[in-house]
C-alpha cells in the first residue's frame, strides 16, 4: 500500500473549514415551539415547512423526509421501480443517487457528464435509454441546474418519468424555474453542508396529485392518514395500511430549523454568490485552474465552489489538496465518479475509461471552502494558499 501523504499542519497556519453551518439565535429559538407543544415528529412544524417549500419552489406538493436519499428512494418506490427496470443516472454524482436504484433491485445505467458543468450530458443520455428504462435521474450538482430543456424533451418524447436529484439545489433556478419542478419528482437535501440545513433531512417535490398522495402514505409506514391528521380527527384507532411503506418522517425539531433557514435563503445564497464572485475574479487567471461555468439563465447557489484543475495541476490534485491542508485549508474532491467505486465496478464490469469526462472530473475537481460566515481574511488566505501551491 502506498504511504499516506503527510498532512501535518504548518505552524501558525489559519484554520479554514470546507463549510460551517449558518445557524444562530433565531434557529435556536425556533426549537422551543415543538418542545413546548410536544409535537416533535411530523407535526405542525413539518406542515409549515412543507408549505414554505411549496411557496419557494412553486411545486404543487412538497413532502418532508428524513434525507434526500430517502426522498429519492420514495420517488422510485412510488413509480414501482423494481427488478428488470433500468434507471439512468449520471456517473459523476454522490453515490446515494445510484445506491437508491440498487436498493430497489433495479439496474443503474450510467451516463457521462458535461465537463464544463459537471451535469448530465443530454447526448449521452439519449444513447443510454433502452426499452427497459423506467426513469431518468438528473442531478443538479453543486447547486447548478442541469440542461433541462433537451433532457425533458428526450424524456417526454419517450414517456419516461424524470426524477431530479436536487440535493445541492435549494434556491437554484434555470430561467426562473426552481430546481426539482421540471420533472415528475424533485429530491432535496438539508444536510449540514447544504445551503439550507436541518442537520439531516430532505424534501420530495411531486408534480402529480395521485403520486403525491401515494408518496405521503408510503412515507409513514403505508398508513392511510398521518398521526397529525388522526389526532385532529380525535381518532383512537390505528389507520388502515393498504401498501408497504417506510418510516421516512421528518421531526418537527428539524422542520422548525428549516422554516427559519428558508426565511434566510436570500441572505444565505447572496453571501455564497458574493464569495464565488471573489473566487472567480481572483483565480480565473491562474494557470491550471478552471473556475465554475454558469450557463446563461442559470442561477447557481454555490452549495459547493468546485474548480477543475488542468494539466500538471490536475495530475497532482491530491498533492495540491494535502498542501492546502498543511496550511489549514480544508478542501474536498468534487464528488465521486460512481462507476469507479468497487461495488459498481464489480456489479457492472465497468472500465474507468467507459465514462471519460466523469473520470476526469473525479481526478481533477477540487472544492474550496465556502460558507456564509466566511470572512474576507479567510477567503484571501485560501486564494493566496492555492496560488502559492500552484506556483
Q: Would you say 193 and 142 are in contact if contact means Cβ atoms under 8 Å apart?
A: no
Distance (Å) of CA 238 to CA 101, 241, 261: 32, 9, 34
Q: Would you say 322 and 331 are in contact if contact means Cβ atoms under 8 Å apart?
A: no
Pairing of strands 289-290, 305-309: antiparallel
Angle, vertex CA 138, rays to CA 279 and CA 71, nearest 5: 100
Residues labelled as active-site residues: 194
Dihedral (CA of 281, 283, 287, 288) sign: negative
- Owner of C-alpha cell 489549514: 328
Q: Would you say 281 and 150 are in contact if contact means Cβ atoms under 8 Å apart?
A: no
Distance of CA 302 to the CA centre of its chain: 11
- If one counts every other C-beta atom within 10 angstroms of the C-beta of residue 113, the result is 25
Dihedral (CA of 158, 163, 165, 171) sign: positive
Amino acid at each position: 500500500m502506498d504511504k499516506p501523504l503527510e498532512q501535518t499542519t504548518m505552524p501558525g497556519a489559519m484554520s479554514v473549514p470546507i463549510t460551517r453551518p449558518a445557524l444562530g439565535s433565531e434557529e435556536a429559538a425556533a426549537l422551543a415551539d415543538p418542545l413546548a407543544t410536544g409535537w416533535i415528529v411530523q407535526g405542525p412544524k413539518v406542515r409549515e415547512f412543507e408549505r414554505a417549500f411549496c411557496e419557494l419552489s412553486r411545486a404543487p406538493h412538497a413532502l418532508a423526509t428524513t434525507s434526500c436519499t430517502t426522498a429519492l428512494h420514495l420517488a422510485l418506490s412510488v413509480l414501482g421501480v423494481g427488478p428488470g427496470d433500468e434507471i439512468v443516472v449520471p456517473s459523476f454524482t454522490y453515490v446515494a443517487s445510484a445506491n437508491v436504484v440498487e436498493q430497489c433491485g433495479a439496474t443503474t445505467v450510467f451516463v457521462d457528464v458535461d465537463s464544463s458543468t459537471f451535469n448530465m450530458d443530454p447526448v449521452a443520455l439519449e444513447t443510454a435509454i433502452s426499452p427497459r428504462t423506467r426513469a431518468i435521474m438528473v442531478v443538479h450538482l453543486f447547486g447548478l441546474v442541469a440542461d433541462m430543456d433537451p433532457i425533458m424533451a428526450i424524456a417526454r418524447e419517450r414517456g419516461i418519468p424524470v426524477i431530479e436529484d436536487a440535493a445541492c439545489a435549494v434556491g437554484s433556478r434555470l430561467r426562473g424555474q426552481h430546481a426539482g419542478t421540471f420533472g415528475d419528482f424533485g429530491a432535496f437535501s438539508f444536510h449540514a453542508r447544504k445551503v439550507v440545513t436541518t442537520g439531516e433531512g430532505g424534501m420530495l417535490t411531486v408534480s402529480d396529485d395521485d403520486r403525491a398522495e401515494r408518496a405521503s402514505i408510503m412515507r409513514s409506514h403505508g398508513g392511510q392518514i398521518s398521526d397529525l391528521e388522526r389526532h385532529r380527527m380525535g381518532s383512537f384507532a390505528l389507520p388502515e395500511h393498504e401498501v408497504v411503506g417506510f418510516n421516512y418522517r421528518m421531526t418537527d425539531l428539524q422542520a422548525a430549523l428549516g422554516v427559519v433557514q428558508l426565511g434566510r435563503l436570500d441572505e444565505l445564497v447572496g453571501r455564497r454568490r458574493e464569495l464565488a464572485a471573489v473566487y472567480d475574479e481572483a483565480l480565473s487567471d491562474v494557470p491550471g485552474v478552471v473556475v465554475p461555468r454558469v450557463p446563461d439563465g442559470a442561477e447557481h447557489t454555490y452549495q459547493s465552489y468546485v474548480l477543475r484543475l488542468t494539466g500538471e495541476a490536475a495530475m497532482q490534485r491530491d498533492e495540491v489538496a494535502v498542501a492546502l491542508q498543511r496550511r489549514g485549508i480544508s478542501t474536498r474532491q468534487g464528488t465521486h465518479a460512481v462507476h469507479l467505486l468497487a461495488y459498481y465496478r464489480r456489479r457492472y464490469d465497468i472500465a474507468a475509461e467507459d465514462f471519460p469526462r466523469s473520470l476526469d472530473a473525479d481526478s481533477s475537481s477540487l472544492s474550496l471552502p465556502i460558507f456564509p460566515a466566511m470572512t474576507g481574511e479567510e477567503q484571501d488566505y485560501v486564494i493566496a494558499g492555492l496560488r502559492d501551491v500552484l506556483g
